[in-house]
Structure 1
Amino acid sequence: MNRWLVLGVVAALLVLVTYGGASGAGKEQKVTIVLSDFKFTPATVTLQAGMPAEVTLLNRGAVIHEFSVYATPPAGKKITEWDEWVIPNTYFQGIGEVNSEIKGFGTTNGTALFEFEVPKGRSVAIKFVPNRKGTFEMACHQEGHYEAGMKGVLVVK
């Protein structure tokens, strides 16, 4: 990972309590995703497009985990450097402001966030308005985690 990417991730780490949810006008969709060794629970998350969402990432694992959402790579595409795929294909690019908060550490706001690191025993809250419909991959790209099955699906309807 490039140094500037690491700095971006560290900044995102300073924002740690994530929620996501869908409902009617003026309401916020709230979803909690538990990160453990080595899976997401639930493995599939569905959000309603155009409605504010708060996704809370809760790390119950023994190690740090990452949370990225991006366009699913084409079948058969071999990816050796995940940042080269995740950064240009992140779900959060072009959807407007994304706010994340690490409880007790502060917040990070921006339009170019692509991953959120969640230390063990911590939580991160991500607030955004999902406006791109489709099916996207959620994953942890800490070394060996993805290969161990730490991935899931985000569906935006």
Structure 2
Amino acid sequence: MSLERRAGSAGITALLVLTSLFVTRQAASHDAHKHGGPAAKFFAAGEPGTPDAAYRTIEIVMNDASGEMAFSPNTLEVKRGEQVRFVLQNAGAVDHEFLIDTAANNAHHKAEMAENPDMRHAEPNGRRLAPGTTSELIWRFTKPGSFEIACLIPGHYEAGMKGVLVVR
């Protein structure tokens, strides 16, 4: 093989390696900007449901009347394997979140929110609603246990915007 041909092959190989490194770095950088990072595909309380499967509907009202922040109802019980369509209504005067997770995961998420109070995110296990708006969340509960519903906007959880969700 001629010296010219080897130099050309080496150049092409170097270009392919650099391109591969660039693409890998961009993908990793993109995942790092997602709230929760690459591990966010695992959810302790189950998995996103599908609209075409059978489900039960539970209406949740989020309110902040007279300084108290609350979900109504704030205690929920579902069966393992059940799919639930949550109809979420923000009847309050400020934004609220509805997030389903473990107390430990919510504590971690709450700390992230405290550092970045204006952070916007779209996790399958939660919704953020502006005042006067309604949204839906369809969730399949695949794991038994005690979970938490929470609003993790700074100050809301501490003001009472949390509840218990038991999967039997």
Contact 1:139–1:152 (8 Å) recurs in 2: yes
1:50 correspondence with 2:81 = yes
Matched letter for residue 110 of structure 2: W
Residue type of the alignment partner of 1:33: I
Aligned residue number for residue 30 of structure 1: 57
CA contact (8 A) 2:126 2:137 kept: no
TM superposition shift of 1:118:
1.0
> For the residues of structure 1 that align with 2:109 and 2:128, how far apart are their CA atoms?
18
1:4 aligned residue: 34
Matched, 1:61 2:92: yes
The residue correspondences of 1:7-156 to structure 2 (distance < 5 A) are 27-37=54-64, 38-73=69-104, 79=107, 82=110, 113-156=124-167
Q: By how many angstroms is 1:130 displaced?
A: 1.1
- For the residue of structure 2 that corresponds to 1:73, the secondary structure is helix
- The amino acid that maps onto 1:69 is I
Bigger radius of gyration: 2
Q: Of the two structures, which has the highest relative contact order with CA contacts closer than 8 Å and spacing of 6 or more?
A: 1
After TM superposition, give the deviation of residue 69 of structure 1 in Å: 1.4
1: distance between equivalents of 2:158 and 2:63? 14
After TM superposition, the score normalised by the length of structure 1 is: 0.59
TM-score w.r.t. length of structure 2 = 0.56
Structure 1: runs of 5+ lacking an equivalent = 6-19, 21-25, 86-107
Task: Return the structure number with greater helix share.
Answer: 2
* Paired residue type of 1:82: K
Quick one: structure 1 residues 80 and 121, their matched pair in 2 at CA, closer, same or farther if it must change by over 3 Å?
Answer: same
Give me the whole-angstrom Cα distance separating, in 2, the residues matched to 1:131 and 1:118: 26
Taking structure 1 as reference, are residues 83 and 56 closer, same or farther at Cα in structure 2, changes over 3 Å only? farther
Flag structure 2 segments of 5+ consecutive residues without an equivalent: 1-31, 36-48, 114-121
Greater strand fraction, Structure 1 or Structure 2: 1
Offset from partner CA, 1:82-115 (integer Å, 9 cap, x none): 2659xxxxxxxxxxxxxxxxxxxxxx8xxx6243
